[in-house]
Amino acid sequence: MVHDSFGLGCWAYGLADEGSEAERVATDVIRAAYDRGVRHFDTAQGYGDGRSERIVGAALSGLEDAGIATKVGLLSGDETPAAVQTSRERLGVSSIDLFYIHWPKNDVDPRPMLDALERERAQGTIMRIGVSNFPVAELERGSEVARIDVHQIGYSLLWRYPEQDVIPWCREHDVEIYSYSSLAQGLLTGKMPRRPSFEPGDPRPATVFYDDEVWPHVYGAVNEMNEVASQAGIRLHHLALHWLLRSGVSRVLVGARNVDQLEDNLSTFSEGPSDETLAALGRISDGAHEHIPDIGNIFKYYP
C-alpha cells in the first residue's frame, strides 16, 4: 500500500552526527517508511546544514520511485543553479522531485529565483516547483513567471489562518497544499502537561502556542479534543491528521523519531472517523483560535 497522503518530515535527522546512533536510527526510520509505502520525504538545505539531505539521500539511494523534496531560502536568479546542484549532490540524485523556496523575504522579489527554477525544470534537474510560507501577494507575483505546483504551509487544528486567503488561492489556482507542523509541534498528540518543561535548545517554547496569554486556551482546547477522541475511540493525533485531509490538504508531513512512532503515524490511515467527530474538533478549534494572534507564522520568524 502506497501512502499518498503522508510525507515523512526529516527535519530532526539534521541533528544526527555522522556515524552516530542517531544517524543509524534516522536511516532505519526512512527505510522503514519506504518499505511501508511512504514515497514522499521532506528535507531542506538548512536542516543540520545539509546533514538531513545527506542522510535522506543515502537511505533512499537507488530507490527511483522515492520522491524527495528539499528547500532553500530565497536567492537571486544567479545563485539558484548552484543551490540546486548542491542539493542534487547531497541527495545523490540527478533530478529532485520537488524543490521549494523555503521562506519569502520582506521586500525581496521571488520572481528571479522562480524564473531560474523554471529553467532548472526545463533542464530536468528538478521536476516540480514549490514555495513554503508564502502569503497570497507573493504567490501572485511568483505565478507570473513560474508554475507553482505545491505550497507547503503551517496548518493544523491550532493554526488556521491559512484558511482566510492562502488555501482558497491555492484551490483556485490548482496548487497542491502540503501541511507541516500538522500536529502543532506535538501539541495535538494530547500528551503535553499543563506546565510543560523542555530540554535546552528545544524550539517549541518560542512558538506562539506557549505565550502566556495563549497557552491556557490551547491547553484547554486540547483537553476538550482529547475527550472527543476518547468518545470516538481514536487517538487525537490520528483525528488531527484526518481533519487536515478532510480540509483539503493533499499531503500531511509528519516526523518520526523512531520506527515505532512511524508505525503509529501510519496506522492513522486504517481508521475512519465520522464527520460528526471531525466537526466537533473543528468547533473546539474555532474557540481556541480566537485567542491565538495572527502573527504570520507560529515561529514568529520573519526573514
Exactly one of 13, 34, 47, 161 is catalytic; name it: 47
Please name the residue ranges forming H helices in 135-266: 136-142, 166-172, 215-232, 236-246, 259-266
Residue 242 to residues 123, 267, 282, 287, Cα–Cα distance (Å): 38, 12, 12, 20
Kind plus residue range of the DSSP H or E element containing 152: strand 150-154
User: 250: exposed, middle or buried (C-beta count within 10 Å: 0-12, 13-18, 19+)?
Assistant: middle
Category of 260 on φ-ψ map: left (φ > 0), alpha (ψ -120 to 50) or beta: alpha
- Does 47 qualify as catalytic in the annotation? yes
Is the CB of residue 74 less than 8 Å from the CB of residue 110? Answer: yes
Burial of 116 (0-12, 13-18, 19+ CB in 10 A): buried
What span, in angstroms and rounded, lies between the C-alpha atoms of 237 and 130? 26
How far is C-alpha 167 from the chain's CA centre? 15
Report the helix count and the strand count for the chain, using DSSP H and E: 10, 8
User: What does the alpha-carbon distance between residue 85 and residue 149 come to, in Å, rounded to a whole number?
Assistant: 20
Is the torsion defined by CA of 253, 112, 162, 198 positive or negative?
A: positive
| Burial bucket for residue 153 (CB in 10 Å: 0-12, 13-18, 19+) | buried
Catalytic residues: 47
